Structure 1
């Protein structure tokens, strides 16, 4: 992967020209009192370096005569490493991670200006580390004040998110291999969850079994808090309590993905706890499944990011009208977003190092064009929330539909001639979801 990281840095430096890009490692996060969460590196930082320690800064200065890639890291400290884990240290940062120069993080204030004073702008994303945000602003203002004496220096700050997003949207073969592994592990976990689900078991039991497989197979753990939602809990989009007992006629919605070497999968399946859909559950499930299939068919190079969503919305709206849950002319219902009473989220998001991955979805009025190497989710759903109040011009909801929540989600790769459903290993056809 070292060559891969090097290529990414070269690509970024080609894009920023005479600028200097600065990336800050992710801060540590406190779980409670003095206990920290397991550390997770900032995705952009990791994408460019592969470096997985906190209190680090990466600087890319393509205009510098000698040091185009510089790392500031924590120095070796045996006493602290005994308590908190091994550090790479300054010398190894050059040897292992290919930095042209490396310094102790304590030297940042002194050393950083030499990589900024000949840059025409600073590329930096203002993140949650307010103290470091202030450091960047102070250096920028200081260099602006002395600009008349040198005639060089940054005259603007640009967000790295824009340039990094365009790079990260298209996955390399190395990235796709990691994503396929994250998918493979999650597929096994979902298949196992399907086999062990039964009335009387608790949502957290299924969650525990899923996440056990994530770690057992070498994953870092869940890509996001696992959703295991039985019955009406499935109508809560980000339900994570996972503490209810499953009942005889419940559906179980599982939205769970694995993180593998920082890359993520994201899968949702919904199936009957007792092995048989009720007529209402089956009808809504078939509608969501058809919407998903037709949305996936829209994943083609040259189509735009919004096409799968538009297709899913149309199929769902037509079905809701046919079932008497909506009434009116289809185009008008879509224009007025009446479907949002039952389908309130988007159909897709980018997937990669982040579950909602880096990259824009729209350029002004124009949705992003799909191109080979992009990976996106396709996840339509229907949620008949028990407390739903119909609009004045819409019908009352027959109680037999209330409390049914369904979502079906797959991870889809845009290929040169169409698409590949990476998560096809998890069944979703009616005959496969019943037992």
Structure 2
């Protein structure tokens, strides 16, 4: 892979912590993702199942992990199954992992080819009181898609109808939501690459540049720094497009006097960064643009201070809402009297700030984690307030990634320019 090798103790530790959560005499089966077809004989590329990667470090398709920590034969308590390679595969698709390479990556000594899966499954499954199977349980997932996991669940229940099946996803969410020190370092690397991309775009931007040219600059910087590419489809939204929250066309011309909203992030070793900055196309903010920008920056600073252990997403959202209301009144977008008379279940600020203030970040950009859970040390969140004024063709959003610690929090993007003076100096040097 493009990224530097990851110490296998991370994946060994992740498996040990999972084993401590499952019931006695349990078997766990985790599958890699599919290679998704596009058209004719093309594919959309491969992105590993994040739970599988979290437990193994293996970044290869057609792979399976079996865990059975209480199985009588110690040699069969951890098994990694890989697609068998051949000279034909090597010629057409390139190198695939050898068993020794897979052991070095995962710290799993028992590595076999996937052709052995059926025989191994039958040997183990009848000794298990329950079997943990995995599925994407993110509340934003497209559940109509028949993933490899969904197909396997159906197949398993048909073959072994009397076996009790347990949900693995809640346990993986419990583990993944608290980042280990090695994970934090990988996320910092993704952030570092993202920062380089931002600096490059800021120096490239000028009137009459097209949004996709900025995306190209960003992509170039990502790839040359060992990233596989974008953590998500980047938003390069100039002028009124900045008021479209998920604008990804990136086709318009950046015009003099406009502000462009840039929401992007690099992926590194499957871990993600998520950053938003706003740049004046002409190199200087107008007084009104600066006024709105400073309001959003103030909201961000105050919101960031609330992303600490013991808080909850619901309380954070409500407290930030009050700050946004105050700023919108100051900007002349809301009146104090209207706010005092508003329906508390339909606050007026939502017209100008319609999205959430934060989300978990990690192996997924919108990472696993319950929105009802109390914030704990080791969690990483975004902080992303915004104000969108379609009638002024102006949208401002700022976003940094925040690590919660025992003593407070750490802004992982504190060194990336965000102050008005920093932005203008960056663009004009």
TM-score relative to the length of structure 2: 0.89
The size of the alignment, in residue pairs, is: 406
Q: 2:97 aligns with which of 88, 93, 109?
A: 88
Contact kept? 2:71, 2:77, Cα under 8 Å: yes
Is 1:137–2:154 an aligned residue pair?
yes
**Deviation of residue 141 (structure 1)?**
4.7
User: Which residue of structure 2 lines up, in the alignment, with residue 370 of structure 1?
Assistant: 375
* Distance verdict in 2 for CA 1:243–1:131, change over 3 Å: closer
Task: Note the 1:254-403 alignment, pairs <5 A.
Answer: 254-327=262-335, 328-330=338-340, 332=342, 334-362=344-372, 368-386=373-391, 402-403=392-393
Q: State the distance in 2 between where 1:347 and 1:95 align.
A: 40
Contact kept? 1:68, 1:100, Cα under 8 Å: no
Structure 1: which 5+ runs fail to align?
146-153, 363-367, 387-401
Q: State the distance in 2 between where 1:411 and 1:22 align.
A: 33
Q: State the distance in 2 between where 1:201 and 1:135 align.
A: 48
Q: State the distance in 2 between where 1:262 and 1:135 align.
A: 24
User: Which residue of structure 1 lines up, in the alignment, with residue 406 of structure 2?
Assistant: 416
TM-score relative to the length of structure 1: 0.88
Q: 1:44 aligns with which of 42, 48, 51?
A: 51
User: Which residue of structure 2 lines up, in the alignment, with residue 193 of structure 1?
Assistant: 201
Give the RMSD, CA atoms, in angstroms.
2.1
**Deviation of residue 212 (structure 1)?**
1.0
SS at match of 1:302: coil
Q: State the distance in 2 between where 1:335 and 1:176 align.
A: 37
* Distance verdict in 2 for CA 1:300–1:95, change over 3 Å: closer
**Deviation of residue 93 (structure 1)?**
4.1
Q: 1:23 aligns with which of 17, 21, 30?
A: 30
Contact kept? 1:58, 1:71, Cα under 8 Å: yes
**Deviation of residue 144 (structure 1)?**
4.0
Q: State the distance in 1 between where 2:299 and 2:105 align.
A: 48
Contact kept? 2:12, 2:106, Cα under 8 Å: no
Which deviations, in whole Å up to 9, do the C-alpha atoms of 1:37-77 show, x marking residues without a partner?
A: 33221111001001111111111112212211112221121
Q: 2:67 aligns with which of 51, 57, 60?
A: 60
SS at match of 1:434: helix
Q: State the distance in 1 between where 2:113 and 2:326 align.
A: 62
Q: State the distance in 2 between where 1:171 and 1:223 align.
A: 18
Q: State the distance in 1 between where 2:135 and 2:331 align.
A: 48
Contact kept? 1:308, 1:378, Cα under 8 Å: no
SS at match of 2:53: helix
User: Which residue of structure 1 lines up, in the alignment, with residue 255 of structure 2?
Assistant: 247
Q: State the distance in 2 between where 1:385 and 1:158 align.
A: 48
